[in-house]
Structure 1
Amino acid sequence: MENPKSTPFLFLNKDLDIAFLQQLYKDEPLYAFDMFEGFMQEIGQRMADLSAAVTAGDWKKTQYHVHQIKSFIGIVGLTKVQDKAQQLESCCSSGNREMILLLFREINLAVRKSMTPVKQELERLREFLYPQA
Structure 2
Amino acid sequence: MLQLIERDGDLAVAALADDVDFYTSSDLRTAGFDLLDDGCRYLVLDTSSLDFIDSSGITALLALWQRLDAADGALVLAVPDEGLRRRMDVLGLDTVLTITPALAQAVTRARQFRAGAGSPGGRPAPPAASESA
Q: Which has the higher strand share?
A: 2
The two structures have a TM-score, normalised by structure 1, of 0.31
Q: Which has the higher helix share?
A: 1
The two structures have a TM-score, normalised by structure 2, of 0.31
Larger radius of gyration: 1
Q: Which has the higher contact order (CA 8 A, sep 6+)?
A: 1
